[in-house]
C-alpha cells in the first residue's frame, strides 16, 4: 500500500467539554494518513487521476469548524468523511492534538489517533 500524508494542519477550534473551551477555543493540530494504491497515477501525471490533498485539507477544515466535546469524535468524523470522499482509499488514520487543555497538570498536548 502507498500513502498520502497531510501533516501539521493547525486550527483554532472550539472542541471540549468545558464551557470555557467552547467559548474561547484553543489550538488543535491534525495529521492525516491515507492508504491507497498508486498504480497508474505515474502514467497520467494529472491531479484528476490521484488523491487531491487540497480536498483533504478542506474536509478537515470543515470538520474542525463543527464543535464537538471529544477529540475522539472529531477524529472519527474526519476519518469517515475522508474515506467516503475518496473511494480509492483503503484506510484513513487521523491524529488530533489538543494543546493546553484545561487540566491541573503541565503538559504540551493531549492527542488521539483513529483508523477508519
Question: Annotated active-site positions, please?
Answer: 98
Residues 6 or more apart whose Cβ sits within 8 Å of residue 89: 34, 35, 36, 51, 82, 83
Shortest CA distance to 35 belongs to which of 76, 75, 77, 94? 94
Cβ 114 vs Cβ 71: under 8 Å = no
d(CA 65, CA 25): 11
Amino acid at each position: 500500500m502507498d500513502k498520502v500524508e497531510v501533516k501539521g494542519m493547525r486550527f483554532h477550534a472550539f472542541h471540549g467539554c468545558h464551557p470555557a473551551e467552547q467559548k474561547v477555543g484553543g489550538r488543535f493540530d491534525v495529521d492525516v494518513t491515507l492508504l491507497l494504491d498508486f498504480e497508474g497515477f505515474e502514467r497520467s501525471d494529472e491531479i484528476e487521476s490521484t488523491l487531491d490533498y487540497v480536498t483533504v485539507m478542506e474536509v478537515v477544515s470543515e470538520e474542525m469548524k463543527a464543535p464537538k466535546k471529544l477529540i475522539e469524535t472529531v477524529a472519527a468524523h474526519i476519518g469517515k468523511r475522508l474515506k467516503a470522499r475518496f473511494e480509492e482509499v483503503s484506510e484513513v488514520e487521523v491524529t488530533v492534538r489538543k494543546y493546553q487543555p484545561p487540566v491541573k497538570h503541565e503538559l504540551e498536548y493531549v492527542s488521539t489517533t483513529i483508523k477508519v
